[in-house]
Amino acid sequence: MTKSLPNALGELGRPKEPMKVLITGGAGFIGARLATRLLNQGHAVRILDNLHPQVHGTNAAPPAWMIDNCDVRVASITDAHAVRDAVREVDTIVHLAAETGPAQSMYEIERYTANNIGGTSVLLQAILEHRDKIRRLVVASSRAIYGEGKYRCFDDGVVYPDPRQDERLLRGRWEPVCPSCGQDVVSIATDEGSLPKPTSIYAVNKLGQEQMFLVTGTAYSIPTISLRYQNVYGPGQSLTNPYIGVLAIFSARIKAQSDIQIYEDGQESRDFVHVDDVVEATLLAILSDRPGAEVYNVGCGQPVSLKAVAEKLAQAMGQSVPIEVSGRYRVGDIRHCYADLTRITRDLHYRPRITLDEGLMDLAHWVQTQESFTNDLDKATSELNKAGLFR
């Protein structure tokens, strides 16, 4: 069946019968690699993707291997007719399609919400028409729903800080404080039971998408899993989209031998997870026999500062570029957040396999093979300035 497929990772245990899987956003960074894994396991794959120019570039088309091996539908997730047709005759649905980019979502509110919430409603309505044939739903959520995530206060124990205030940030006081006593707090691993505190329209959208899937799956007895991805990186990510993927932005700057500008003091941290580990977690969710509705973090479970990861990436790419800390900040950015992986390890037996150093070397090798590209970070920054969201 398959022809000219990219190399796949190892195999997971297969269900008794091949699946028919619909991947919305399936031509994207995560979706394309997931499609490859599913095809190599003998499953049929249908892809619905609008090939948005911001992500795929102008005049984009699905790669030849995808056209040869998948049923590819180029259409928007908001196109009810196309979505109903795409859902027909599949038994598993993975919903990855979304407008992504927390900062951009703050001044493109209508577009983000129309696609993320409106598109999800279109998909779920179509699913109901074929619910007797659907064996599992998987939806991509995001660590963004947590906001600052989980912290510990010396006096008040576990707390969930409020969004950081301009009054402190303008004075370079970057760390969150206890919402009860105002003391300094320490970031700890954020588990799935943590209080959601979204700080962007994108985060609100992702929380809404997740809840819409979980409520629908529960009501109609369709097993449903929501995966809260951390910061995903690796070969295949869009290198020209300045609104998402800090490592893609860094890669473009390093390849051009330009300086890297990091917001705040460079010590803000994230949980970076390689795309192959994310695909592995998503496959485990697809193949799971877990009943009901479940939510899982997907990450590495370790925080790393943006300054440190920029230095590591420059070293992996064999370049020495200035790394400058700007002291400026974007409204809605968080300071720290990293995943507690206890639940997904226990239930799905997921463990990240690719270390940050290995993953950055993998990304660096791939970036060096790409043709010249530009990442229009200046345009994105200008838009933030115009909206009054860059201080």
Q: Which CA distances in Å does 212 have to 79, 119, 124, 215?
A: 18, 11, 8, 5
Let me know: does 199 contact 332? Beta carbons within 8 Å.
Answer: yes
Active site residues: 202
- List CB contacts of 50: < 8 A, sequence separation 6 or more: 74, 75, 76, 77, 97
Let me know: does 226 contact 218? Beta carbons within 8 Å.
Answer: no
Q: With CA atoms as reference, report the closest residue to 210 among 291, 294, 283, 281.
A: 294
Let me know: does 206 contact 116? Beta carbons within 8 Å.
Answer: yes
Looking at the chain, list the stretches that DSSP marks H as alpha helix, in order from N- to C-terminal side. Answer: 29-40, 53-56, 64-69, 80-87, 102-105, 109-113, 119-129, 166-169, 201-219, 246-255, 275-287, 306-316, 342-348, 356-369, 377-387
The rounded distance, in Å, linking the Cα atoms of 83 and 73 is: 9
> In whole angstroms, what separates CA 80 from the centre of its chain?
25
